[in-house]
Amino acid sequence: MELTHINDQGRARMVDVSEKEETLREAEAYGCIYMKAETLQRIKEGSIKKGDVLSVAQVAGIMGSKKTSDIIPMCHPIMISGCDINFNLNFDENRIEITARVKNKGQTGVEMEALTAVALAGLTIYDMCKAIDREMVVSDIMLMKKSGGKSGVFEREK
């Protein structure tokens, strides 16, 4: 498989997508943040001093998806038509599971935008709770599925 982000001199380049067909593109990413049971309970109760942790993390994830090209060097700035972040509080494993779905109609995919949304939502949870739990771990960030474009559909095997 040829690396598309390498030029003839072996250096990084931004891929030219001007000839690519505009298609509907969607991506879903997943990640989680592990924490102490007490931290998870306080998030559920809304008793974290900095405020509503999940609301702030949701906004951070959405903002992050829109700013992906500002922080990932070879990503194209794209117009996102939709981004949704969902959280599942898993008390059995003391973690919050984060899912981001991003959509656009364009010439390049939204996988990096979905992954960035998950990462920033997790980091925001960490930031808002670090005063009571510095041992939290943001983990398992991965692309779950994507559709659109020349490469078609990808769905991670469970």
State pLDDT tens for residues 51-103.
999 999 999 999 999 999 999 998 999 999 999 999 999 999 999 999 999 99
Please indicate, yes or no, whether the overall pTM of this predicted structure exceeds 0.85: yes
User: From the candidates 84, 127, 133, 140, which is the catalytic residue?
Assistant: 127
Is 127 tagged catalytic? yes
Backbone phi, psi, residue 78, to 5°: -130, 155
pLDDT grade for 2, boundaries at 50, 70 and 90: low
Mean pLDDT of the chain: 94
Residue 102 CB coordination number (10 Å) = 31
Token pair 């992906």: residue = 68
Residue 146 CA to residue 152 CA, distance in Å, equals 8
C-beta contacts of 57-61 below 8 A and 24+ residues apart: 57/85, 57/87, 57/98, 57/121, 57/122, 57/124, 57/125, 57/128, 58/85, 58/87, 58/121, 60/120, 60/121, 60/123, 60/124, 61/85, 61/98, 61/100, 61/117, 61/118, 61/120, 61/121, 61/124
Residue 94 CA to residue 64 CA, distance in Å, equals 25
**Which domains are seen in the chain, by residue range?**
26-146 (3.30.70.640)
